Amino acid sequence: MIRLTTPISEEQARALKVGDEVLLNGKLVLSRDIGHKYMKEQKPEWLKPILKDMVIYHCGPVVKKNEDGSWSFVAAGPTTSIREEPYEADVMDTYQVRGVIGKGGMGKKTSDGLVKTGAVYFHATGGAGSLLAAQVKRVVDVHMLEEFGSPEAFWVVEVEDFPVVVTMDSHGASLHEIVLALSQERAKALTR
Amino acid sequence: MAECTIPTLTTMDVVESKSVLPESYRADMSDLPSLDITTAVLELIRRTTSRLPQDVIDALVKGRDAEEEGSRSFNTLNDMVRNILLADGHVTPLCQDTGTDIFWVRHPYGLSQRLIKHQIREAIVESTKRSWLRPNCVESLSGKNSGNNLDPFHEGHPVVHFEEWEKPEIEVAIMLKGGGCENVGAQYRLPDVAIGAGRDIGGVRKAIIDAVVKAQGQGCSPGILGVAIGGDRVTGYEKSKEVILRKLGTLNPDPKMDQFEKDITHDLNTLGIGPMGYGGNTTVLGVFVEEMFRHPASFFVSISYMCWSSRRRVMTIGASGEVSFD
């Protein structure tokens, strides 16, 4: 088990390999569909210091506003990442992001982006909303809440020992491709 | 990393102590046209979003224990079980994607569907305020979130199906179906040359295998498949969801279809996709198949994929107003 704290350096990201189990600490920035379209098309400057060497988490949380005005995360598992395939490589390049957390894996374009930028794709357990929300220790900030709505806003959170698995690395390897090829081969045998 | 958790949910006493229904609550069934079940539906949502059915938990545990201890697939299934216990204990959503909220209401003659639909919508708004549901209803083109889980103009969300029946009681079934698994559902039109599927049970089998291979881990495997053979494009998909209300481990009333379900479940679990697509022996928890009639020219196989967090429940309001949940 590897323990990493954000911000992550390019060197640290490049040292990670497919199959590594990692516990993430420090800040994560949440973003999904609308946010990715916005980042690719408008390239907002204000996000640059927030995202540099950071990890983006594909997640639309269930949140609760506390009486003192602060926020809590109630459920916060990963959403399907492949929807961000058209955007992710450009986002990582523009903002020098070192990691993306999601579920289901991503495609060739993102894989090439990981190699170019020096970043990794972390997989979290889909559906584990309560378990992963318990690792979110504090909601630090939220951007574009009004404009995008709570599932799509840029939430900045602090996590402790957030459990993920590296399924795509900066050397072009992808666990998703390996499993896909294996299952296709077995399906062929089943339907011969 | 985590110890192997023995899955014991909180007792029904605890669940009932947190109920939003007053003690010894009874719905007033004497006046069906003005019946109000808003609070009962709120309680149905509360239980469904935070507590997974026991048959699903049992299947996940069985899957976990069939994986090699300490393997990625074992750890992943164990995390799922830990998540189930946390959500139940805290009465918080099992998953942040509280899904498309689908209801099936079966009721006796005399009830107002218009009023019941309104009450279900009220219960959805209240559940969203209480953070039991995420606001999951956005305008298609602008992406703007309605904020309260209601489709204000077309009443497209929540989805409510009604059916009048001869029984005196009311049954409200609910399913919270996440977007990730909804996206990997598939409809095949047989014959399908691309996958070599003809218009027979062998063709149905090929369609199911193809859909699961294409889905990989993206529907949050291990999934539960609902399959409708026949119907039109709409009724086939509708039926494929409704069959997922069945409990895992229950028999298909058609013995041949029951055998088919068992065989295809076994075959799918040899694909090696595993929990979350990390590889492993547990790719599906079960497959439910129902055959419908069809137009002679059309042969659809409609497949709905339900994630491992199969949030479903049935509430029954008896003839004298007593409410029970299963």
CB-based contact, B70 to chain A, within 8 Å: no
Q: Do the chains contact at B96 and A182, CB–CB below 8 Å?
A: no
Distance between CA atoms of B110 and A16, rounded to whole angstroms? 64
Q: Give B176-219 pLDDT, tens digit per residue.
A: 999 999 999 999 999 999 999 999 999 999 999 999 999 999 99
Q: Do the chains contact at A179 and B272, CB–CB below 8 Å?
A: yes
Q: Give B2-38 pLDDT, tens digit per residue.
A: 455 566 788 888 888 899 999 889 999 999 999 999 9
Scan residues 109-168 of B and list those with Cβ closer than 8 Å to A: 131, 133-136, 138, 143-145, 147
Q: Do the chains contact at B270 and A186, CB–CB below 8 Å?
A: yes
The mean pLDDT of chain A is: 96
Query: Cα separations (Å) of B256 from A18, A44, B252, B289, B290?
Result: 43, 59, 9, 11, 11
Q: What is the DSSP string of B141-205?
A: TT--B-SSS--TTT--SSEEEEEE-SSSSEEEEEEEE-HHHHHT-EEEESSBGGGTB-SSHHHHH
Q: Which of B1, B98, B274 sits opposite A1 (nearest CB)?
A: B1
Kindly report the pTM of this predicted structure. 0.92
Scan residues 252-271 of B and list those with Cβ closer than 8 Å to A: 267, 270-271
Q: Do the chains contact at A127 and B309, CB–CB below 8 Å?
A: yes
Does residue A171 have an active-site annotation? no
What interface predicted TM-score (ipTM) does this complex get? 0.90
How many distinct structural domains can be found in chain A?
Answer: 1
A12-29 average pLDDT score: 96
User: Residue B70 above 70 pLDDT?
Assistant: yes
Q: What are phi and psi of B150, to 5 degrees?
A: -110, 140
Scan residues 280-319 of B and list those with Cβ closer than 8 Å to A: 307-309
Q: Give B258-304 pLDDT, tens digit per residue.
A: 999 999 999 999 999 999 998 999 999 999 999 999 999 999 999 99
Q: Taking CA atoms, what residue in A is nearest to B274?
A: A179
Of A11-15, A127-131, B173-177, the poorest mean pLDDT is in A127-131
Q: Which of A33, A76, A179 sits opposite B96 (nearest CB)?
A: A76
Which residues of chain A are within 8 Å of residue B209 when distances are taken between CB atoms?
A: 187, 190-191
Q: Which of A75, A82, A191 sits opposite B93 (nearest CB)?
A: A75
Q: Do the chains contact at B83 and A131, CB–CB below 8 Å?
A: yes
Question: Which ranges of A17-84 would DSSP assign to H, the alpha helix?
Answer: 33-42, 48-51
CA distance B158 to chain A (A): 18
B43-72 average pLDDT score: 94
CA distance A125 to chain B (A): 7
Structural domain of residue A27, as residue ranges? 2-190
CA angle in degrees (0–180, nearest 5) for A156-A159-A162 = 125
